[in-house]
Every structure is written in C-alpha cells, then in structure tokens.
Amino acid sequence: MKTQQKKARGKAQKKTGAKTRGKAQGKTQGKGQGKAPGAEKAGKAGQAWVVVLAVVTAALLAATARSGGGGDGTEGDRDAKAAASTPRATAPGALAAQARRNLLTAPSLHVTVTDRSEGAGRSAPSAMDLSLDREGDCSGAVTFGARGSASVLRRDDRVWLRMDAALWRARVPGAAGRALAERIDGRYVTGPASDPTLKDLASVCDLDALHAQLRADARDETITERGGARTLHGVRVVPLTGTSTDGSGTHVTLYVTASGTPRLIEHTRTGGRTDLTTRYADQGAPVRVTQPQASDTVEVSRLGKAKGQG
C-alpha cells in the first residue's frame, strides 16, 4: 500500500513539474520573441520598404509612360524596317510618323523627361533621366522636386535602387522610416529582377514597352503644321505641331531632324495643367551600367531580418 502511494505521489509531482516548466518556457519564449533586439524595428522597416518601393516603382513607370513607355512593343521591328526603306516625307503628319517609327530601330535610347505640370514633384516625378537598351540594361534617375530623388540600375538579371535621404524622409515618416534608413545606410537595395518586390522596377528598363507607347502617342495626336528650321540641342530640326485627340486641348510639338533620316529629338505637350518635355538622344549608343561594389549594397531579401543577420 505504501509503495503504491509513493508511486502515485511521484507521478503527480512529475506531472505538476512538467506543467510548470512548460508554462515557464512558454512565458520566457513569448517574452523573448516580443523583445528580441531589433526584430520589431526590422519587421516595420521591411514593411515600410515594400510600401516605398511600390511608390517609387509606380512613379518610374508613370514617368516612362509619359515619355513613351508602356505596352508590349511587338510590332516595333516590322514598323521600323518599313520606315527605313521609305523616302523622307514632306507632309507634317507623315514626317512625324516616320520619325516615330525610325526611333523603333534604335537598339538603345537615352530618354530625358522634364515635367512642370501641376502636381509634378509630389506623387509624380518632376524629372527622369534614363538610358536603356533591348537587352534590358538601364541606368537612370527619377526626381521628385524638393522631395528627393532615386537612382535605378539594371544589368543582366540584377536590379539596384538607391534613394537619397530626402526621399526617405518624405516617403517614410516617423520611427519606421528612421529604422529603414539606418538599415540601408545610403546603400543600393539590390536583388534579382525576378524578385517579387523588384520585378515591377525592372520593367522600367523595358525598351519594347517604350516603343509601344510611341505608337500609342501616334494614335492620340494629330500633327498638322510644319514650322521653319531651327537649332535645338545642337541639331537642326523642324517643329511639327498639332493637338491631342483626347479633347484636353493639349498642344503637341515634335522636333524632327531637318534633313536626312527623320529622327525625333524632342516631344512637348503643353496646355491646361500639362507642361511636359521629353528628349530623345544617343539612339544606338551603348548603355554603360557600373555595378555597385558589394559593400555599397544590401540584399532586398535581408530587409525584413533582424539586425545582425545581414
């Protein structure tokens, strides 16, 4: 009988001890997880990064669309080959169409956008400078007026993005922004172009998309007048003028080379709340992308991790 009582007491003690230890361990783990150094900050910083990236990418895509980007570009080569074998047109509309189509033959391009429209520099960029080629390589920058600027690079299958301190402050106010800025410390955020958080940014470097929008512009604008020759950016050009067909009353001017193969040098849209200038240069010139040093980069996959892990 005594032996049975001892066994019963032993079992009860073991059971009670196990419960106590389990509760203590759970409590300790819960506290540890809740107060791990930098973990909460890193999590918020990672979330803030995704939001900021989405904003900057949307701005770049919008700027590229205004410059002539967007669409699939599937007809570009066929249109360009047809234009190359066509004699120089004289009628304003036909000459504008030739210049646009000839732009599609260039394997690379340097696009500069200056936007003085109402609201530019707030949610939309006030300027963009981008060199890109058919291989998907690109190098450029987007500016949000006094709110700051960002640089974007793509080489082969890798993308880099660096934002200045002013843009961080404007886009991520408060503790989350400070944590993120501290984590990145002025470096480029980088990762593969296929990364879910970077793939839209990589699409900014799509030259075929730019080509497609040039065709869309041709459908949305009617060119009716031709002005006298003048010099623009060191090139002799003729202005071809017209209006947008969207009912906005926007005035359109295409500056095309005055002789030889028609090349589009500059495209302006003005009127109402719009004041947009797009310049095209270095058609066919190599796009040089200088890859940042490893010490000047941080992998996008590490942004949500706790400090000390990346």
Whether 76 is covered by a domain: the verdict is yes
Helical ranges in 172-232 per DSSP H: 174-184, 199-202, 207-220
Whether 248 is covered by a domain: the verdict is yes
Task: For residues 211 and 101, give the distance between their C-alpha atoms in angstroms, rounded to a whole number.
Answer: 9
Indicate the number of domains in the chain: 1
String of b and e for 168-190 (b: at least 16 CB within 10 Å)?
A: bebbbeeebbbbbbebbeebbbb
Tens-binned pLDDT, residue by residue, of the chain (310 aa) = 444 444 444 555 544 454 444 444 444 444 444 444 444 544 555 555 565 666 666 666 666 665 553 333 333 344 445 555 568 888 999 999 899 888 888 899 999 988 887 765 555 567 889 999 999 899 998 887 777 888 899 999 899 988 887 777 777 777 777 777 777 888 999 999 888 878 777 777 888 877 877 777 778 889 999 999 999 999 999 999 999 888 888 999 999 999 999 999 999 999 888 888 999 999 889 999 999 999 999 998 887 543 333 3
Which CATH number fits the domain that encloses residue 290?
Answer: 2.50.20.20
Record the pTM.
0.71
In one-letter notation, the amino acid at residue 116 is: R
Whether 263 is covered by a domain: the verdict is yes
Whether 12 is covered by a domain: the verdict is no
Whether 289 is covered by a domain: the verdict is yes
CA neighbor of 280 nearest in space, from 240, 244, 243, 235: 235
- Domain containing 167 equals 39-296
